Amino acid sequence: MPLGLLGKKLGHTRVYDADGVLTPVTVVLVGPNRVIQVKTTKSDGYNAVQLGFDDQKESRLSKPVVGHLKKHNAAPVKRIKEFRDFSKEVKPGETIGADLFAVGQFVDCIGITKGRGFEGVVGRWSFRGGDMTHGAKGWHRRSGAIGQRLFPGTVRRGLKMPGHMGSVRRTAQNLEIVQVRPDDNVLLIRGNFPGSEGDYCIVREAKKLAINSRRVLAIHAARKKAKELAAGAGKTDKKAAAKKK
């Protein structure tokens, strides 16, 4: 896994760039992340960095976790996450934060979706449902028959049926970092990703979108061209208004 941080989703807002273009963003608190343990191929068989986030009372942690943290002289934390093949060299006891990333970089944000409880097939799978007229009584939001008659006589595995919805891990890929605020340990990320406000999340480098990839360069070039066109249109409007006067 490339560079990454544990964070907390604070909420949503909007920011304006130098040209006055509005961008909706998600505010994520990503620090301080404390380096608990650095694993190497010699000592553990693989390279990884273990990070801890958000202070916690020692009495609220299990004894194995407390023992692990004391072994590495680390303070009690609520969340611990291991990142393999961490490209930045760090040492146990160090703290890292928002300055790990840069403006314009693309990241993947991992969160837990909102829990929706028990949902029917219309809400969970977007089924059409039955007719509201023509004698269809009691089947308006039901799935209908699920059996297979005589053969095979069982319900197919994976059949879409009512059940628990939400509370699953999901990843939003290729989201752009709009602003980095190291003093507040905050990232402003374009768009949204799964999770409620206050939920913990993981922010990592985009796996499918390298910094120097053609798509990234094309995106930045298109935005730059759009800004230039908008600036040029504004100038022509001013000239036309001046001529009319």
Question: pLDDT tens for residues 104-144?
Answer: 899 999 999 999 999 999 999 999 988 888 888 888 898 88
Question: Which pLDDT does position 243 carry in this prediction?
Answer: 63
For the stretch 67-89, pLDDT in tens is 999 999 999 999 999 999 998 89
Structure tokens at 60: 């609220």
Question: Which pLDDT does position 238 carry in this prediction?
Answer: 60
Does the residue 226 lie in any domain?
A: yes
Does the residue 229 lie in any domain?
A: yes
For the stretch 135-175, pLDDT in tens is 888 888 988 888 878 888 888 889 999 999 999 999 999 99
pLDDT(1) > 60: no
The residue type found at 162 is P
Residue 241 domain boundaries: 212-245
Distance CA 240, CA 245 (A): 9
pTM of this structure = 0.80
Does the residue 234 lie in any domain?
A: yes
pLDDT band with cut points at 50, 70 and 90 for residue 7 = very high
pLDDT band with cut points at 50, 70 and 90 for residue 102 = very high
What lies within 8 Å, CB to CB, of 156 at 6+ separation is: 148
Does the residue 231 lie in any domain?
A: yes
Does the residue 235 lie in any domain?
A: yes
Does the residue 232 lie in any domain?
A: yes
Does the residue 236 lie in any domain?
A: yes
Domain count, the chain: 1
Task: Determine whether 154 is exposed, middle or buried from the number of CB atoms within 10 Å of its CB (0-12, 13-18, 19+).
Answer: exposed
Question: Which pLDDT does position 112 carry in this prediction?
Answer: 96
Residue range 10-25: mean pLDDT, rounded: 91
- Secondary structure of residue 82 in the 3-state scheme: strand
Does the residue 228 lie in any domain?
A: yes
